[in-house]
Amino acid sequence: MAYDAGFANVQVHQARELATGFVTLGTRDLARASRFYEQIAREMGIGRSAESDHFVGWGVPGVAAGFGIALPGAVPEVTRGMVPLQVDEPEQVERLYEIALRNGGAGEVAPGDCGGFYAAYFRDPDGNRLNAFCVSQH
């Protein structure tokens, strides 16, 4: 199989331009999930941007990017998937992975190079899958 460096370079460039938008995950325990995600958000340099009895969101006020958690029925569109958490450097990927494990998360793939990305995969206490990553500076 041939390797097309031009194609790979375009993919890395496009990845740098992507924004994750706002992702909401379901939880059975809003208080527990809030404690878990508060640590993740703090490491990413963002704070709470919205909060109610059934929902908590983190992000930059006025910017449609970030993540949130909601109790069942509060956000009908919530389904299980994978949430991308893009950060600036491999050390931050490693810190997010460790924060997740210390706060009730479960590791799936330890931080490492993933061919153009440095990434780690883990689950929150509700089983939602997250991917902390940064674009490698190759």
Secondary structure tally for the chain: helices H, strands E: 3, 8
pLDDT tens track for 31-41: 999 999 999 99
CA-CA distance, 103 to 101, in Å (whole number)? 5
Instruction: Please tell me the predicted confidence (pLDDT) of residue 137.
Output: 58
CA-CA distance, 66 to 98, in Å (whole number)? 20
What dotted CATH number matches 20-135? Answer: 3.10.180.10
Instruction: Please tell me the predicted confidence (pLDDT) of residue 96.
Output: 97
Residue given tokens 């992702």 in the structure block: 23
pLDDT tens track for 25-83: 889 999 999 999 999 999 989 998 878 889 898 987 655 567 888 888 776 555 556 78
CB distance 24 to 52 below 8 Å = no
Residue 100 DSSP class: H
Strands 82-86, 129-135: pairing kind = parallel
pLDDT tens track for 101-135: 999 999 999 999 877 779 999 999 999 889 898 88
